[in-house]
Amino acid sequence: SGQKVCYGDFKRSCYKLAYFQDLSRRVGFQEARQACEIDGGALLSLESEAEQQLIESMLQNLTKSGSGISDGDFWIGLWRSGDGLATSSACPDLYQWADGSISLFRNWYTDEPSCGSEACVVMYHQPTANPGLGGPYLYQWNDDRCNMKH
């Protein structure tokens, strides 16, 4: 389930957002990717600062409408291939969009991506967390283990 929002002025005219406060409903990266594909879409590819800002606004509206704010990062469609190079300086260049689109736009949190065993990307949504070195954990990107539940 999720909230579908459509616009006429972006490359992808419709977005569907799913926010689960119930931890048991959260899923790993591949499950989220498959759910999007079954629904005729793909995990989100963010191709510009304007699109990033649009999504941030949509997430603010979505989480305000719930029964209180809680932490819960959102999977986006960015992931890394080439695990053999995961610890090299080339690691950030190995990330690609799941839908095959090409975009150099990135919104990494400070010191991300950390690479290693973390190959799938979330958009931070941790409003109750104390800010880190890069500020609050809101809407920047973080690489995470693909089997984590978001």
pLDDT at residue 141 in the model: 97
* Residue 113 located in a structural domain: yes
pLDDT at residue 5 in the model: 76
We report the CATH number of the domain holding residue 132 as 3.10.100.10
pLDDT at residue 101 in the model: 84
* Residue 96 located in a structural domain: yes
* Residue 62 located in a structural domain: yes
Residue with tokens 């469609």: 77
* Residue 149 located in a structural domain: no
Exposed (0-12), middle (13-18) or buried (19+): which is 131, by Cβ within 10 Å? exposed
Exposed (0-12), middle (13-18) or buried (19+): which is 8, by Cβ within 10 Å? exposed
* Residue 66 located in a structural domain: yes
pLDDT at residue 118 in the model: 92
Residue among 57, 137, 119, 48 nearest 82 (CA) = 119
CA distance 27 to 129: 21
Give this prediction's pTM: 0.87
Number of domains in the chain: 1
Phi and psi, residue 76, nearest 5° = -120, 170
* Residue 150 located in a structural domain: no
| C-alpha dihedral sign at 125, 128, 134, 135 | positive
Provide block-wise average pLDDT over 10 residues at a time, the chain (150 residues). 66 76 87 91 91 88 65 92 63 88 91 90 92 90 95
* Residue 30 located in a structural domain: yes
Long-range contacts of 59-66 (CB under 8 A, 24+ apart): 59/17, 59/19, 59/123, 59/125, 59/139, 62/3, 62/17, 62/19, 63/19, 63/125, 63/127, 66/19, 66/21
Segments forming the whole domain that contains residue 119: 2-144
